[in-house]
Amino acid sequence: MQLISPVEIVKGNVLAVQDYAQLSGRALKNIFKQPRYVADTLQQADLIGVGSLPIVVLTGFFTGAVLALQSSATLIKFGSLSLTGQLVSLSMVRELGPVLTSLMVAGRNASGMASELGSMKVTEQIDAMRALGTDPTKKLVTPRVVSSVVMLFFLTIISDLVGLTGGWVVSLLLLGLNSYQFWNQAYQNLVAEDVTMGLVKPVIFGFIISTVGCYYGLSTKGGTQGVGRSTTQAVVAASVLILVVDFFITRIIMSWFGSGI
């Protein structure tokens, strides 16, 4: 096996980041330019939004439910079981709703995009598209970015609501809290900061999922094996990036609102 010098590796990574940034930039710029591929965007929206709904509902519900269950163990020690609603709603809206939904959609759609575009790349269909005078970033990337961002936004809201419902069901049936206590706590304690955080995150995560998926797809090399590699790399990179970026968004929004440290 041939050894690759560390300098080459670093150079390769820097170039990859640069290519990724360029692709993302172009995908954004295309939103404001003709031609717009509305039909392709709607088709992607259906694929991402409607297609992901079942898994988002399931994960949301059980996350909310388990949150209620876990927190009850601690809260009961302090005699404040009635705070369950607040705990579930804050955790869901600020963190778990956006992050878990994004991770689910990343697993489902970043991989889908990478493998679809990757197959097109290795069978020269991307080149054929360019040869026919269509910009693949306009026809393939931008519709995926737009629909991912919009759909993830709504999927997250649905996930939050379903998560709260999960928490409520557990509170009602297992913890013996009444509905009013739960929902009142859940609603009363949400402030602008929580809602902002909960709605900004999915927009950014949607952008990450789609651009990472498309980037790995379009930079696929090496036949069918290459498609497999791009697909896994896309999911891994998107997931890691979501978790890292999540930390920074949280930090930035907290300092905007002057909360935390």
Partner 1 sequence: MPSQQSRSGTLVMEPEQQDFTVTYDDVRLAFEENQVLQGISFQLRRGETKVLLGVAGSGKSTILKLGLGLMKPDSGRITVLGQEVSSMPEEDLFALRRRVGMVFQESALFDSFNVEENVSYRLREEHVAEDEINRRVIEALRFVELEHTLKKFPSELSGGMRRRVAIARAIITEPEVILYDSPTGGLDPITSTRIIELVVKQRDVYKTSALLVTHRLQDAFTMASSYFDTKANEMRPVTAETPVDTNTSFLIMRDGKVIFDGSAGELACTDNEYIREYIS
Tokens 């498309």, residue located: 214
> Is the Cβ of residue 132 or residue 192 nearer to partner 1 in the bound state?
132
DSSP string, 83-130: GHHHHHHHHIIIIIHHHHHHHHHIIIIIHHHHHHHHHHHHTTHHHHHH
Residue 41, interface with partner 1 (CB under 8 A)? no
Judged by CB under 8 A, which stretch of 68-76, 131-139, 206-214, 238-246 contacts partner 1? Answer: 131-139
- Binding test (CB under 8 A) with partner 1, winner from 133, 180, 192, 258: 133
Retrieve residue 130's tokens. Answer: 């360019």
Provide the 10 A C-beta neighbour count for residue 61.
19
> Is the Cβ of residue 123 or residue 259 nearer to partner 1 in the bound state?
123
> Is the Cβ of residue 64 or residue 217 nearer to partner 1 in the bound state?
217
Q: Measure the CA–CA gap between 257 and 259, rounded to whole angstroms.
A: 6
> Is the Cβ of residue 37 or residue 183 nearer to partner 1 in the bound state?
37
Residue 131, interface with partner 1 (CB under 8 A)? yes
- Binding test (CB under 8 A) with partner 1, winner from 129, 157, 172, 203: 129
62-121 residues in contact with partner 1 (CB under 8 A) are 120
Residue 130, interface with partner 1 (CB under 8 A)? yes
Residue 193, interface with partner 1 (CB under 8 A)? no
Residue 12, interface with partner 1 (CB under 8 A)? no
> Is the Cβ of residue 134 or residue 181 nearer to partner 1 in the bound state?
134
Q: Measure the CA–CA gap between 216 and 112, rounded to whole angstroms.
A: 11
Retrieve residue 58's tokens. Answer: 């399931």
Residue 46, interface with partner 1 (CB under 8 A)? no
Start-end of H helices in the chain: 6-30, 38-45, 51-77, 84-91, 97-105, 111-122, 125-131, 136, 142-173, 179-188, 192-218, 223-256
Give, rounded to a whole angstrom, the gap between the first and last alpha carbons of the chain: 51
Q: Which chain residues interact with partner 1 by CB under 8 A?
A: 35, 120, 123-125, 127-135
